Structure 1
Amino acid sequence: MKHSAIAIYLVLACVLAACATSPTGRSQFMLISPESAIVESKKAYLSTVSDLDEKNKLIDDPKMADRVATITGRLVTEAVALYPQSANWEWSVAIVDDPETVNAWCMAGGRMAVYTGLFDQLKLTDDEFAQIMGHEISHALANHTAERMSRAIATNIAVAGVAVASDNHALALGGAALAAKVALELPNSRTAEAEADQIGLELATRAGYDPDAAVTLWEKMGKVGGGERPPEFLSTHPAPQNRQAALASMGSEVRKLNPTGKKAAVHPVTIVR
């Protein structure tokens, strides 16, 4: 097979990849299965946690651990009820001692991290923290990790195709080797962020937390991000000016899911120590 034909074949492999549908009905481009994304995420998480442990960066404060586990556990209860496939996920949270970092994330498979900067700099209420964790959990439920990995793999297949066509074998091998690492570091798209906003708001409301807290959270986030160095959370979670308005407009309708604000049961969530 000629090099040009190989390049075309590699690019077509991306175009003909299987599609999936997100919880909101959006078509998703998938080159990797959600199950494979969970496997790769676990490897990355264990490596990250091990590194944090060696640096003594994992918080072991019983009061904070209980707060994080309780709020997150209520969200997970609702997540499992709505998405039964997540019932066997290894739900866990690492609380990272880093007062300068305003960030949180959830990998495929329910492995999470929160940074103490969230609490130190934003003075979060329980309702606001629930909005953050609901949003992050929603990225995992909607298979956004697999989607990001697919984007990275597609990019590297295209690079490999060009490399083969130009006899640049080093470029071909390098692009493929870089795919997995780049995939886990890619930010979510704005569409995925909006999707996580919606699903997260619903999760938090079902779990018994005030949907109006989504608006006050982003008000606080905007103030913290007003300096020369915005928080990491904003760098990976694009926040257009209409985001608060969109969340506010959803509030009254979402509130109908749990009009009394009854708190959900607490699903077991492991605090990584």
Structure 2
Amino acid sequence: MKGKSHYKYTKSMKNWLIITILLLLTACATSPTGRSQLMLISPEHAISASREAYAQTLLPLQKEGKIDNDNRASQRVRDITGRIITQAIILFPQSRDWEWSVKVIDDPETVNAWCMAGGKMAVYTGLLEKVQPTDDELAQVMGHEISHALANHTAERMSMAMATQIGMLGVAIAVGDSDHAGLALTGSALAAALAINLPNSRSSESEADLMGIELAARAGYNPHAAATLWQKMEKAGGGGPPQFLSTHPSPTNRQETLQQLAAQMMPYYLEKTERPIYPLD
């Protein structure tokens, strides 16, 4: 009986695995730049999970008094980010309904910033203090991070993590390891939180560079600041790369590419037009 039961279990799990593999092969989407993406997690699900993860991330920091302590710094970040959000909504109307938010986290040792799906953002004081970006350079950071969200990179990274788990499950089934074959997938909110700390692919980085520098230029920020920002980021690392660079791998020709993009984006920057600020709390 035990052998027969195990046979039925293994057969059903193998059937499930076949269905899952077919899902992996068909769950594709296209990014704003035309790149093919693995999308096991829908953008809507990623936004919902990120909303929960954002609240869970900020709550203990709020209790410790580490959120928006410096009113001047927080207002500066909101103003710059708000101008970029306005342009993001123009180019990507679906983001109009996002619950946009940006918080400054008091952590002088962390040189980092991120944007979850749905426009949930944070900037660490370490980035402001150690890099000391100009407004134009800070706009490049926020444009880049917002572009990760607009291009559904959170959902993509969550999907990659899920695909990895499915692959491990497949190995467990193949070798008959029933103890590990039934492991549950990581919770969505946790997966969304982990996604912002996972390294981006180079294709995702190039995509965010292209989209971000355009958003910042349209918002009235000098695109040539993108190259000087990355120079400052590398110097801020000292003996090792800051966290921002560990999750944002830098191709060797990145600064050269950014300089070329800057020349293309100058017309947007030089436009004599109003650059309204999206209101952020």
Would the aligned equivalents of 1:187 and 1:236 in 2 still touch at CA under 8 Å? yes
Match of 2:246 in 1: 235
Match of 1:15 among 4, 25, 43: 25
Give, in whole Å, the separation in 2 of the partners of 1:149 and 1:160.
16
Match of 2:169 in 1: 160
Higher mean alpha-carbon deviation, 64-73 vs 165-174, is at: 165-174
Three-state SS of the structure 2 residue aligned to 1:94 is strand
How far 1:32 moved relative to its partner?
1.1
Give, in whole Å, the separation in 1 of the partners of 2:182 and 2:60.
28
Cα displacement string for residues 148-184 of structure 1 (whole angstroms, at most 9, x for unaligned residues): 1111111111222222333323323336237763552
1:176 matches 2:176: no
Give, in whole Å, the separation in 2 of the partners of 1:191 and 1:245.
16
Match of 1:218 in 2: 230
Three-state SS of the structure 1 residue aligned to 2:211 is helix
How far 1:26 moved relative to its partner?
1.1
Would the aligned equivalents of 1:92 and 1:112 in 2 still touch at CA under 8 Å? yes
How far 1:124 moved relative to its partner?
1.0
Q: Percent identity?
A: 53
Q: 1:106 to 1:72 in 2, by over 3 A?
A: same
Cα displacement string for residues 185-210 of structure 1 (whole angstroms, at most 9, x for unaligned residues): 42221100110000000000000000
TM-score for both structures, normalised by structure 1:
0.92
Match of 1:188 in 2: 200
Higher mean alpha-carbon deviation, 135-144 vs 4-13, is at: 4-13
Higher mean alpha-carbon deviation, 122-131 vs 51-60, is at: 51-60
In structure 2, runs of 5+ residues without a counterpart are 1-7
How far 1:15 moved relative to its partner?
1.8
Three-state SS of the structure 2 residue aligned to 1:250 is helix
1:92 matches 2:101: yes
Match of 2:84 in 1: 75
Q: 1:95 to 1:117 in 2, by over 3 A?
A: same
Give, as a single letter, the amino acid of the residue that structure 2 aligns with 1:250.
L
Match of 1:122 in 2: 131
Give, in whole Å, the separation in 1 of the partners of 2:14 and 2:236.
51
Cα displacement string for residues 66-99 of structure 1 (whole angstroms, at most 9, x for unaligned residues): 1111100000000001001001111111101111
Match of 2:263 among 247, 252, 265: 252
Give, in whole Å, the separation in 2 of the partners of 1:38 and 1:85.
12
Give, in whole Å, the separation in 2 of the partners of 1:141 and 1:78.
12
Give, in whole Å, the separation in 2 of the partners of 1:11 and 1:113.
36
Give, in whole Å, the separation in 1 of the partners of 2:91 and 2:242.
31
Give, in whole Å, the separation in 1 of the partners of 2:106 and 2:35.
37
TM-score for both structures, normalised by structure 2:
0.89
Q: 1:100 to 1:82 in 2, by over 3 A?
A: same
1:205 matches 2:217: yes
Match of 2:5 in 1: none
Match of 2:70 among 57, 61, 70: 61
How far 1:21 moved relative to its partner?
1.1
Three-state SS of the structure 1 residue aligned to 2:86 is helix
Match of 1:269 in 2: 280
Give, as a single letter, the amino acid of the residue that structure 2 aligns with 1:13.
L
Give, as a single letter, the amino acid of the residue that structure 1 aligns with 2:239.
E
Match of 2:4 in 1: none
How far 1:118 moved relative to its partner?
0.9
Aligned residues: 268
Three-state SS of the structure 2 residue aligned to 1:114 is strand
User: Higher relative contact order by CA 8 Å / sep ≥ 6: 1 or 2?
Assistant: 1
Would the aligned equivalents of 1:10 and 1:158 in 2 still touch at CA under 8 Å? no
Structure 1 residues 40-51: aligned runs within 5 Å: 40-51=49-60
